[in-house]
Chain A
Amino acid sequence: MMAGHSTSMGVEDVNLYYGDFHALKDITLDMPANQITALIGPSGCGKSTLLRCLDRMNDRVQGCRVEGRITLGDEDIKDIDPYDLRRRVGMVFQHPNPFPLTIYENVVYGLRRQGRRPKSELDGVVESTLRRVGLWDEVKDKLKASGLSLSGGQQQRLCIARALAVDPEVLLMDEPTSALDPISTSLVEELASELAHDHTVVIVTHNMQQAARISNQTAFFYLGELVEVGPTAELFVRPKKKQTEDYLTGRFG
Chain B
Amino acid sequence: MASSSASARARRQDHIATGVLTAIVAVICVALVAIVVYIVGSGAGKLFDVSFLTGKPQQFKAGGGIGPELFNSFYLLVLTLLLSLPLSLGAAIYLAEYAHEGPVTTAAKTIIETLSSLPSIVVGLFGMLFFVLQLGWGFSIMSGALALTMFNLPILTRVIQQALEAVPRDQRDAGLALGLTRWETTIHILIPSAMPAIVTGVILSAGRVFGEAAALIYTAGQSAPMLDFTNFDLSSASCPWNVWRPAETLAVHIWKINSEGVVPDLAAVSSGTAAVLMVCILAFNIIARIVGRRLERRLTAE
Cβ of B181 within 8 Å of any chain A Cβ, yes or no, is yes
Cβ of B211 within 8 Å of any chain A Cβ, yes or no, is no
**Is B300 touching A146 in the complex (CB atoms < 8 A)?**
yes
A146/B299 contact (C-beta < 8 A), A57-B177, A87-B179 known = yes
**Is A162 touching B302 in the complex (CB atoms < 8 A)?**
no
Cβ of B189 within 8 Å of any chain A Cβ, yes or no, is yes
**Is A162 touching B178 in the complex (CB atoms < 8 A)?**
yes
Cβ of A55 within 8 Å of any chain B Cβ, yes or no, is yes
- B262 contact set on A, CB distance < 8 A: none
**Is B179 touching A100 in the complex (CB atoms < 8 A)?**
no
**Is A91 touching B177 in the complex (CB atoms < 8 A)?**
yes
A113/B177 contact (C-beta < 8 A), A62-B101, A93-B170, A97-B171 known = no
Kindly identify, within residues 139 to 157 of chain B, every residue whose CB is under 8 Å from any CB belonging to chain A.
none
**Is A148 touching B299 in the complex (CB atoms < 8 A)?**
yes
- A60 contact set on B, CB distance < 8 A: 176, 182
Give the distance to chain A from B150, nearest Cβ to Cβ, in Å. 32
Give the distance to chain A from B226, nearest Cβ to Cβ, in Å. 48
Cβ of B192 within 8 Å of any chain A Cβ, yes or no, is yes
Q: How many residues of B contact A (CB 8 A)?
A: 25
Cβ of A224 within 8 Å of any chain B Cβ, yes or no, is no
Q: Which residue of B lies closest to A110 (CB)?
A: B178
Cβ of A83 within 8 Å of any chain B Cβ, yes or no, is yes
12 examples of A-B residue contacts, CB within 8 angstroms: A60-B176, A62-B101, A97-B173, A97-B174, A99-B174, A99-B175, A101-B192, A109-B178, A113-B184, A142-B302, A148-B300, A162-B178
Give the distance to chain B from A79, nearest Cβ to Cβ, in Å. 16
Cβ of A214 within 8 Å of any chain B Cβ, yes or no, is no
Cβ of B100 within 8 Å of any chain A Cβ, yes or no, is yes
Cβ of B180 within 8 Å of any chain A Cβ, yes or no, is yes
Cβ of A69 within 8 Å of any chain B Cβ, yes or no, is no
In the bound complex, what is the Cα–Cα distance between A109 and B173 (angstroms)? 14
**Is A86 touching B302 in the complex (CB atoms < 8 A)?**
no
Kindly identify, within residues 114 to 157 of chain B, every residue whose CB is under 8 Å from any CB belonging to chain A.
none
**Mostly helix, strand, loop or mixed at chain B's interface?**
helix
Cβ of B168 within 8 Å of any chain A Cβ, yes or no, is yes
Cβ of A33 within 8 Å of any chain B Cβ, yes or no, is no
Kindly identify, within residues 44 to 67 of chain A, every residue whose CB is under 8 Å from any CB belonging to chain B.
55, 57, 60, 62
- A62 contact set on B, CB distance < 8 A: 100-101
Q: Which B positions have Cβ atoms within 8 angstroms of A?
A: 100-101, 168, 170-171, 173-182, 184, 188-189, 192-193, 298-302
**Is A90 touching B177 in the complex (CB atoms < 8 A)?**
yes
Contact for B177 among A55, A95, A101, CB less than 8 A: A55
A86/B176 contact (C-beta < 8 A), A62-B100, A148-B299 known = yes
Contact for B179 among A93, A113, A145, A159, CB less than 8 A: A113
A100/B192 contact (C-beta < 8 A), A149-B302, A166-B179 known = yes
- A84 contact set on B, CB distance < 8 A: 179
Cβ of A163 within 8 Å of any chain B Cβ, yes or no, is yes
Q: How many residues of A contact B (CB 8 A)?
A: 30
A100/B178 contact (C-beta < 8 A), A93-B173, A146-B300 known = no
**Is B299 touching A110 in the complex (CB atoms < 8 A)?**
no
**Is B178 touching A113 in the complex (CB atoms < 8 A)?**
yes
In the bound complex, what is the Cα–Cα distance between A97 and B189 (angstroms)? 11
**Is B171 touching A146 in the complex (CB atoms < 8 A)?**
no
Q: Which residue of B lies closest to A165 (CB)?
A: B178
- B192 contact set on A, CB distance < 8 A: 100-101
In the bound complex, what is the Cα–Cα distance between A113 and B100 (angstroms)? 26
**Is A57 touching B176 in the complex (CB atoms < 8 A)?**
yes
Q: Which residue of B lies closest to A101 (CB)?
A: B192
**Is B180 touching A113 in the complex (CB atoms < 8 A)?**
yes
In the bound complex, what is the Cα–Cα distance between A147 and B208 (angstroms)? 36
- A146 contact set on B, CB distance < 8 A: 298-302
- B299 contact set on A, CB distance < 8 A: 100, 146, 148
Give the distance to chain B from A91, nearest Cβ to Cβ, in Å. 4
Q: Which residue of B lies closest to A162 (CB)?
A: B178
In the bound complex, what is the Cα–Cα distance between A109 and B189 (angstroms)? 11
In the bound complex, what is the Cα–Cα distance between A110 and B179 (angstroms)? 8
In the bound complex, what is the Cα–Cα distance between A91 and B174 (angstroms)? 8
**Is A86 touching B177 in the complex (CB atoms < 8 A)?**
yes
- A91 contact set on B, CB distance < 8 A: 173, 177
- B174 contact set on A, CB distance < 8 A: 93, 97-99, 159, 162
**Is A83 touching B302 in the complex (CB atoms < 8 A)?**
no
- A100 contact set on B, CB distance < 8 A: 189, 192-193, 299-300
Give the distance to chain A from B293, nearest Cβ to Cβ, in Å. 15
In the bound complex, what is the Cα–Cα distance between A159 and B148 (angstroms)? 44
- B300 contact set on A, CB distance < 8 A: 100, 146, 148-149
